[in-house]
Structure 1
Amino acid sequence: MNPLSDFHAPGVPLPHIRRIATDRPLHWLRAGWQDVKANPLPSLAYGLLFALGGDLIILALLQSPHLLSVSISGFFLVAPLLAAGLYELSRRTEAGEKILFIDSLKCFRRNGQSLAFFGLILALIMLMWERFSAVAFALIDATSAPMANAYLNEILFDGQHLAFTATWFLLGGVLALFVYALSVVAVPLMLDRDADVATAMMTSLRAFVRNAAPLLLWAAMLVGLTLIGFATLLFGLVLIMPILGHASWHAYRELVE
């Protein structure tokens, strides 16, 4: 039994997936930058929201380091949904339209049920990861450090928990890769074609399997550039997130016929 197939509308064919060259992610970044230049104010408004929201979360969780680490790792899980407005800007730019920031938010009304269901799936995955992390950190008594810097020093740099740290990062990476495979074109497909959740996730999985090399490169670029944004106290995300969001739309348009 295929759980995703059980929710796929019967008789509706899945979109065809194109094969792409390994270097295409570089072209997506350039196309994303062009979309930022075409929509500077709404695009940067999304980037500013990412940066300010992230900074507020970090400030709120400085004395809850366990939740801080989970929130940072969880960011990579929910980012595809949070970038929906950027996909809408790219979609409308592609159609030759100019829209305002407030107009791009209306994308959540279109196929809102599927987007909400997908958001629920991501939220449940995040909750399971948070609960697993809470238990794991409690087992090594690492949640006693009162501030994030002491916590990170205890976990990462004192050499007492190297096996635990490696295992936690490995499991988190596997989970993130699975969610990435499920979502790489899911949200743009739901916005563009009113696809149901099962169709969107199955199409994403097929796109990932058919183009593993370029999409693994794209995943590495997404993570690397996002970490650069985090290293600048998230204010680098003001520009980085819009570029990545717009580029992800162009990835969808190339991958799905």
Structure 2
Amino acid sequence: MSANASHTAPHDTQNSALPTMEVPYVPPPPVGPRAHMRSLGWGSPFRWLELGRKDLFKHPGIALFYGVCFFLMAQVLALVFKHKPEYTLSMISGCLLIGPFLAMGLYEVSRRLEQGEVPDMASSLMCWDQHIPSMAMLVLVLMVLELLWGRASLVVFAVFFDTGMPSTTGVLEAIFNPKNLEFVMVYLMVGGVFAALVFGLSVVSIPMILDRDTDAISAVLTSMRVVFSHPGVLLLWGALLGLLVVGALWPWGLGIVFVGPWLGHASWHAYRGSVEWEESAPEAVTLGTNK
């Protein structure tokens, strides 16, 4: 009897270790609130501009500081165009990279105004210090695009001007010369592709990181979702930004002192008007659809 018992004991133990039934897999709940795209209309970009104008005049001193910074960037761009025109497109891409990060202080001003708080220069200048990891990753991605953009610009010049890089006067003549229409089209197409990428990746990602302290990947994906959800409205928004910036830079760039901070505040409202969060559904009813 004892031999039989010792022989069957391991068999019983092995059977008892087997599960009696399969447990169905239940996916875990999503972590944190999820972003939803708001419904946008063709009037939304103009509404964002109007809200940005109101924020601008509520704290003109802060806006003036950032406006002077944008003006200095414009002067550097003008010097590059004068002495090294082949690097102009690369410098424009650098401004598109630096501009949104510089405007982060303006986003902070608008964020505090929206929350009923009083913004100040110190909080505006130091608003990025709690978001360094996410911002560093986003900077890395945009820097890679900026370097590729600059290299592509040089390649276009090298292909069409095989006798050497033209002077500033040569570039202007090339742009307005009907014989060089192919060069102008290729140059603008290459620049447009990279500008669209930078715009799509950053249109709401930086204010989203400031507002929600999200990681860079989530912010970039949300930014692209906004663009693909309403491509026509976002194309209009990008066109308005470009036209206002170009108009502000002519002839001496003084207009950028006003336009730069204005567009910075408006970009915050573009984020708030495009994205809502699950936990703020009652607030979404109050804000409406920004049409």
TM-score by length of 1: 0.89
Runs of at least 4 residues of structure 1 off by over 3 A?
10-14
* 1:81 aligns to 2:101 (yes or no): yes
Are the equivalent residues in 1 in contact too, given 2:152–2:190 (CA < 8 A)?
no
Alignment correspondent of 2:153:
133
What secondary structure, in the 3-state scheme, does the structure 1 residue paired with 2:178 have? coil
Are the equivalent residues in 1 in contact too, given 2:157–2:165 (CA < 8 A)?
no
**Structure 2 counterpart of 1:145, from 166, 184, 192:** 166
Within 5 Å, which residues of 2 pair with 1:139-178? 139-141=159-161, 143-146=164-167, 148-153=168-173, 155-178=174-197
**Structure 2 counterpart of 1:243, from 254, 259, 262:** 262
2-structure distance, mates of 1:152, 1:13:
51
**Structure 2 counterpart of 1:218, from 230, 237, 241:** 237
What secondary structure, in the 3-state scheme, does the structure 2 residue paired with 1:109 have? helix
CA gap 1:94/1:11 in 2 versus in 1, 3 angstroms: closer
- Unmatched runs of 5 consecutive residues or more in structure 2: 1-29, 277-291
1-structure distance, mates of 2:35, 2:229:
13
Are the equivalent residues in 1 in contact too, given 2:74–2:253 (CA < 8 A)?
yes
- Deviation of the 1:69 alpha carbon: 3.4
Are the equivalent residues in 2 in contact too, given 1:77–1:176 (CA < 8 A)?
no
Alignment correspondent of 1:44:
64
- Deviation of the 1:44 alpha carbon: 1.7
Alignment correspondent of 2:111:
91
- Unmatched runs of 5 consecutive residues or more in structure 1: 1-9
2-structure distance, mates of 1:149, 1:14:
52
RCO higher in structure (CA 8 A, sep ≥6): 1
- Deviation of the 1:11 alpha carbon: 4.4
Alignment correspondent of 1:4:
none
- Choose 1 or 2 for highest CA Rg: 2
- Deviation of the 1:160 alpha carbon: 3.3
**Structure 2 counterpart of 1:28, from 21, 27, 48:** 48
CA gap 1:135/1:60 in 2 versus in 1, 3 angstroms: closer
- Deviation of the 1:24 alpha carbon: 0.8
- Identity, % of aligned positions: 38
Name the stretch that deviates more: 104-113 or 48-57.
Answer: 48-57
1-structure distance, mates of 2:209, 2:200:
15
- Deviation of the 1:62 alpha carbon: 2.0
- Deviation of the 1:75 alpha carbon: 2.5
Are the equivalent residues in 1 in contact too, given 2:80–2:87 (CA < 8 A)?
no
Q: CA deviation digits over 1:120-177, x for unaligned, max 9?
A: 211111111111111221122275333x233222x21233321121012012112211
